Every structure is written in structure tokens, then in C-alpha cells.
Structure 1
Amino acid sequence: MVEDNTLEPQKAANPPGQPSWWRVIKSVLAAFLGVQSKKNWEEDSKSSSPLRFIVVGLILGFLFFALMFLLVYIVSLFIDV
């Protein structure tokens, strides 16, 4: 008889000790906003490699500055400076 595993939730292919990309993004955004809880920070610091956090932090930091630059550029078009 063949087992039917369709009811089991599909897990993302993450190496052991590595949080998912979605969890890393949420954690970095919480840290950017200054609302990261100590419990979540401790869980994040237990991951085997900080590489995901560094990559996501750099990408989100770049996106923030690009958005600010774009906003200032658009406003300066209307102010006629």
C-alpha cells in the first residue's frame, strides 16, 4: 500500500540551525524598527551562521536609502529647487 503524505505540511529546505528567509526578513525589519524582542534576538543568535542576516540587512538597508533618495527626488521636482 502506498502512503499518502499530501496532508503533511511542506517544510522549506533549510539547513539545520538556519532560520527560514521569511523569518530572517521579519527579524531584520523588527531590528531596524527597534522592536526586536530579547527572546527573538536570542533565537536568532543561535543560528549557525549570521550570513542570512547580513545579506538581508544589506539589501533592506539599500532599499531604505534608495526609497529615501527617490522620495527626496520626487519632492524636489515639485518644490522647484
Structure 2
Amino acid sequence: MAFKTQTPTHNPSDPDGAAIRGSDWLTTNQLARLLQISPSTLEKARSTGRGLFARLAYRKLGRSVRYSRDEVLEFLNSTRVEGNRGRLS
């Protein structure tokens, strides 16, 4: 199953949720929240060029870092691993 974007909704208990689903660009913090990882994991991947998340493309405007929502979804879909469909013994 491929990751799909959702229609933005407002949820008072998740104020950034709508921004994550509706924005074309994600900050490091928004992406980290979406991936359920620490922002420092993304920062370290960017600076060292190592690890799974180093493959994520980003844009830098001055000191601001932004990730394209479409490219993030593409990346997530490319990391899909087929499960074992055989019978367990």
C-alpha cells in the first residue's frame, strides 16, 4: 500500500497535523513528527550524509531547511519492503 496524502483537517489536539497534511513544504520538526523520529536524526543525516534519511532531498534557503511533501511521499514509497506471503511453519 502506498502512502497517500490526506485532505487537511483541523484537530485541536494536533495543531500541526493540518499543516503537515496540507502544506507543500515541511520543516525539519514537522517531518520528524510525521516520521516519528527525532529532528536531530534528520539534522545528523543531512550533515553526515549517512543513514536512511540522508537520501531525503531538501531545500535550504538561508538557514531554513524545507522538505517537499511530494518528495517525502516518494521516498517513503521507495522504501517499501514486501512481506513474506508464504505460510509460516
Same fold (TM over 0.5): no
- In proportion to residue count, which structure has more helix? 1
Greater RCO, 1 or 2 (C-alpha within 8 Å, sep 6+) = 1
**Which of 1 and 2 has greater Rg?**
1
TM range (shorter): under 0.3
More strand by share: 2
